Structure 1
């Protein structure tokens, strides 16, 4: 890559670009499971990002390369366990296996440890997504349980601080 990938906080003004990125990523991977993604408007996403940026236990970070969103990581509070954050990582297919996912997870872990009020960081990953599982293990995630997510076998993994 001729330039470096920049990690930046998502701003409400990024709403349309984020929706375009997510919709494209959903066509590239069946691991993108965002309910009602096609129905979300840029105006709604703008408001969602404002709300997320106003709380201290949720975050959206973007990986930007040459002014294009190439990856995204989120930590969102679980509705039924508000002290637990769920990690979500998406990288555009043409940038897979280039270290962007690791960069995003590393930034999310740093935020979780140093800035959030959350007590646990968790994620779900489909069992057939071996590259992602290997990345999460490398980044100090351990398997908590096996379960079904969207009718598919998945691992729930939790972050363990060293």
Structure 2
């Protein structure tokens, strides 16, 4: 059904749409911090997605409404902590506060619990992004520290599912 949101694993074929979505999202929110986004080519993005799909410690999933990307969730290994994955969630502004972010976070948690080789799932969120903080808290993330991202205060949170 075209009016139902579907979560799917991103493939290299999704690269043009993923880049277009991320570039648009970066104009809608200052929380979208993808390095060198403007310089990434479709071929590079295709290679990135294909490479990510070869490993069990990182993932890119898309929330789709028909052919339209509504949101993206990623889990990428932290260079400083090879057993930790960093969660990233981006939802198109016109779909904010419609449960898409929660759907993506829950899907990433399911992947982490059932398929990943990672030991922990972490994220960083700007302290000013109250809706996101509430979402993460409601999805079993707890604050484990504070940091500064892009010169702004941020919380460090870790996924701690109920036992």
TM over 0.5: yes
**1:62 paired residue number:** 62
Q: Distance in 2 between matches of 1:63 and 1:100?
A: 7
**1:83 paired residue number:** 83
Deviation of 1:80 (Å): 1.6
Q: For residues 11-160 of structure 1, what are the structure 2 equivalents within 5 Å? A: 11-160=11-160
Deviation of 1:161 (Å): 1.5
Deviation of 1:66 (Å): 2.4
Tell me how large the CA RMSD over aligned residues is.
0.7
Q: Distance in 2 between matches of 1:147 and 1:80?
A: 15
Deviation of 1:76 (Å): 0.3
Deviation of 1:109 (Å): 0.2
Question: Structure 1, residues 111-158: CA drift from partner, whole Å, max 9, x if none?
Answer: 001110100000000000000000000000000101101110000000
**3-state SS, counterpart of residue 54 of structure 1:** coil
Q: If the length of structure 1 is used for normalisation, what is the TM-score?
A: 0.98
Q: Distance in 2 between matches of 1:144 and 1:150?
A: 19
**3-state SS, counterpart of residue 63 of structure 2:** strand
Gaps of 5+ in 2: none
Q: Distance in 2 between matches of 1:155 and 1:126?
A: 6
Q: If the length of structure 2 is used for normalisation, what is the TM-score?
A: 0.97
Q: Distance in 2 between matches of 1:161 and 1:136?
A: 12
Q: Distance in 2 between matches of 1:161 and 1:71?
A: 23
Question: Structure 1, residues 76-115: CA drift from partner, whole Å, max 9, x if none?
Answer: 0001211000000000000000000000000000000111
**3-state SS, counterpart of residue 62 of structure 1:** strand
Q: Distance in 1 between matches of 2:161 and 2:142?
A: 11
How many residue pairs get aligned? The number is 161
